[in-house]
Amino acid sequence: MCSLDFSWFNSGHFVDVIEWIGTFAFAISGIRLAAKKDFDLFGAYVVGLLTAIGGGTIRDLLLQTNPFWMSNSRYMICTAVALLFVILFRKHIVKLNITFFIFDTIGLALFTVVGIEKTLGFGHPFWVAAIMGTITGVAGGVLRDICIAEIPLIFRKEIYASSCLLGCLCYYICNYIGISLVANQLLTSFVIILSRVIAVKNGIGLPKLKSESD
């Protein structure tokens, strides 16, 4: 009698929810940095938006297709909600750092998978798809850091892009073996999330290039 309704959990809706979570977390990261740099409301909104949609926009320009956010206003709305959230819960947001880290990592995984699949759909070889997946995941953060006139974080700290690339490798192998698409998507996301969580928990980073004078 009492049957639970899992229709919400079907593929389309599920991806939508993940996309909201990812967009929201990316926007929050941009808005928080903007607040530290004394930005006004407009500036904070733009930096939040660039962080959230910048990677996908660069990907779409390189693929010679219409930027994805033009066909749906949800990304604008989601960033506005994120701005409101930061204004209202400013004092408490620090306590949510771990939550945002998780959201951000889930977003990274989804964005990477979306980037890979969109590029393959355009008929490009896999190495191009891997680059596009990584751009989708990380380029928004690079634009964010350029807007606040700092050296992009991902070039110096944190396993972030490396998780994307590991995910791309996983996707390629799964695809080669012939695993089903959904299983591949889940496994790739899992690899990205797990590798980032492990790296951050243990303070693992890529080795730095030594300067010539060292």
193 scored as a contact of its own copies (CB under 8 A): no
Tell me which H or E stretch contains 156.
none
Number of residues that bind its own copies (CB under 8 A): 59
Closest CB to its own copies among 18 and 143?
143
* One of 15, 20, 21, 35 touching its own copies (CB under 8 A): 35
120 scored as a contact of its own copies (CB under 8 A): no
Among residue numbers 43 through 62, which ones bind its own copies (CB under 8 A)?
Answer: 43-44, 46-47, 57, 61-62
98 scored as a contact of its own copies (CB under 8 A): no
> What are φ and ψ of residue 81, in 5° steps?
-65, -40
Q: By C-alpha distance, which of 152, 165, 151, 169 is closest to 196? A: 165
Tell me which H or E stretch contains 194.
helix 181-201
- Token pair, residue 169, equals 């490798």
User: In 72-169, at which residue ranges do the beta strands (DSSP E only) sit?
Assistant: none
Tell me which H or E stretch contains 18.
helix 11-36
Report the alpha-carbon distance of residue 134 to residue 71 in Å, rounded. 23
73 scored as a contact of its own copies (CB under 8 A): yes
Closest CB to its own copies among 18 and 48?
48
Report the alpha-carbon distance of residue 23 to residue 35 in Å, rounded. 18
* One of 10, 11, 64, 202 touching its own copies (CB under 8 A): 64
Q: Give residues in contact with its own copies (CB under 8 A).
A: 31-32, 34-44, 46-47, 57, 61-62, 64-67, 70, 73, 76, 86-87, 90-91, 93-94, 124-125, 127-128, 131, 142, 146-152, 154-157, 161-162, 205-212, 214
